[in-house]
Amino acid sequence: MTRHASRAALLCALVLASCDKNAVQQVDGPVPAGARIKFFNFGVGAPGVNFYANETKMTAISSASELESNLGVAYGGVGAGGFYSALAAGQYTLSGKIAAATDKDLAISNLSATLALNKTYSFYQSGFYNTTTKTVDAFIVEDDFVSEFDYTVAYVRFVHAISNANPMTLYAKNTTTGTEVAVGGEVSYKSGGAFTALPGGFYDLGTRYAGVSTNAISRTGVSLLAGRVYTIGARGDITVISTTATNRPFLDNTANR
């Protein structure tokens, strides 16, 4: 084969590879305008799920065989590795559908929501999974970030996803200075508070009921970095006193930015 023929063969191979359905495609240009959303499975006892917006699958987990895993987003987990997923603005039915082979794609949560242009949201499966009806609660909160971002502080808010707990306020105590502050105000189940600025550092966190000085839920040594945004989410069963049970009341720390 001549040198020119070899070059021609190589070019043909490249063209064919670019047409293959498994070929890596180069995508350039700006991300289309729309809404962004993050998905949490905080429903106690809920099976692993894939999250959907209408019929569009928004989260899934791949396996070593490059096929979709049947594990889905497990209880206590967040979809898409904690990243936001982009959607066109509009009306959606948001749902968590069972990922396992048994009851595959059965929707255990359904929530109708309107996602606005350039807004950011978090969707939560919450409360307790009903094994008879195969359903679980769900709610959505807007992630209403501050308009003027200060990179010298961390921004923190509290989301309440425990159905058998009364409204609570999140408190953060700086482990170096000993200063303790309330992170926003009292938050009810299926709600989220406002983002509050805190100096970067390590904090002991606790949630309290109105008029009570002791913590209902505690978590120590949480790192909050300046220039980042965090959501502290309460999940679990408030009646559980074990410190190791999967369904114990727990304060989850997830970075929004």
Cα separation, 115 vs 92, whole angstroms: 8
Average pLDDT for residues 38-64, to the nearest whole number?
91
Which residue ranges make up each domain of the chain?
32-143, 148-257
Instruction: Scan for tokens 């919450």, then name that residue.
Output: 126
Going by C-beta distance under 8 Å and a sequence separation of 6 or more, which residues neighbour residue 71? 48, 61, 99, 100
Topology of 32-143 in CATH?
A: Immunoglobulin-like (2.60.40)
Least confident of 26-35, 156-165, 184-193, 248-257: 26-35
Please answer whether residues 32 and 88 qualify as being in contact, where contact means their C-beta atoms are separated by less than 8 angstroms. yes
Q: Phi and psi at residue 100, in whole multiples of 5°?
A: -70, 165
Architecture of domain 148-257: Sandwich (2.60)
**Exposure on the CB side of residue 160, measured as CA atoms within 13 A:** 27
The confidence score (pLDDT) of residue 67 equals 72
> pLDDT digit string (tens) for 98-111?
999 999 999 999 99
Domain pair 32-143 / 148-257, same fold: yes
Q: Which of residues 93 and 146 earns the better pLDDT score?
A: 93
What CA–CA distances, in Å, run from 71 to 49, 94, 245?
7, 19, 20
